[in-house]
Amino acid sequence: MRIVTVCRMNQARSPFAQAVLEANFPDDQITSTGVSAHLGTPILDSVIAIAKSWGVPITKLSSTAKEDDLSAILTADLVITADNEQGEIIRTLGYLGDLRSYEEIISDKDFIPVDPEGLSTDAMARELGKVGALTLRAVIDKKGFAHTHKIHAVIPHGVTDLSMALTNAQFERTTLGATLIDADLRAPLSDEIEELSLERVFFDIDHLSTSGFPPTTSNQILTHIREVDFPEKFFISPTWRNALAAHANQIPIVIVTAPRHSRARRLPDSYLASYMADEFGVISC
């Protein structure tokens, strides 16, 4: 498949999206471009550093503009743009194929990544996390879902909504006959699990590629064996996607993600953990 990722200047979002897709779909032809880019402008150093720390090294080190990449755009099977306006610009070039913008993929503005140029490193990481999740979702939608059973994501709005979110997830799990997964690798649930009298069954994301998720009963929940400082690198890698898809071939899955909002930071974990979901809901008390 030939895919082009598009943003404004081709310095942050689109080259990062390109790197994520190259890591996840090495057999596809991936290009990135900018609708207002200047040929040869360096990719932002902070974007390169974040991508490297997440295991998706940036392979494109300087920007190109839509005019430079016109042939790749016009022959692409899928074009992914950062917003609807950029999509309209791509259409004016004569592109008639499948085009998805982040704004089209999801209507919730909190989930849509903004241009991270000029942001702090933490804020930039949050926006790039969204880029990774939505880019992967766009390609998965194009390729078709690989799993047999539904994956449902439950996202707490804030940390005070964790108990309600887990209660909702357990209800969904019982209704669907699903496996319940605590996908907050940064701060795995503890007190909330005990309140529901669920038994924790541990998994290790470092071993998911070989062992997958262990089986559970209706009163058990899969949770990570330890806290992970930088879970983004795992969610963006093929390991998470393949493990979820393999498990969902056998049984439905309900995952509880990290909160969308935290006093410490707005975690990108939520967006990354839930991108494989067929449907998701945000829980707010």
Cα gap 13→103, rounded to integer Å: 14
Residue 263 has pLDDT above 70, yes or no: no
CATH topology of domain 2-143: Rossmann fold (3.40.50)
Residue 164 has pLDDT above 60, yes or no: yes
- On the question of a common fold for 2-143 and 151-283, the answer reads yes
Residue 135: what pLDDT? 96
Residue range 167-196, pLDDT digits in tens: 999 999 999 999 999 999 989 999 999 999
List residues bridging with 7 in a β-sheet: 34
One CATH from 3.40.50.1000, 3.40.50.300, 3.90.320.10, 3.40.50.620 for 151-283: 3.40.50.300
Cα gap 61→25, rounded to integer Å: 20
Residue range 47-103, pLDDT digits in tens: 999 999 999 999 999 999 999 999 999 999 999 999 999 999 999 999 999 999 999
When mean pLDDT is compared across 19-28, 105-114, 125-134, the lowest value belongs to 105-114
Domain parsing of the chain, residue ranges: 2-143, 151-283
In the chain, the N- to C-terminal Cα span, in Å, equals 43
Amino acid at 229: D
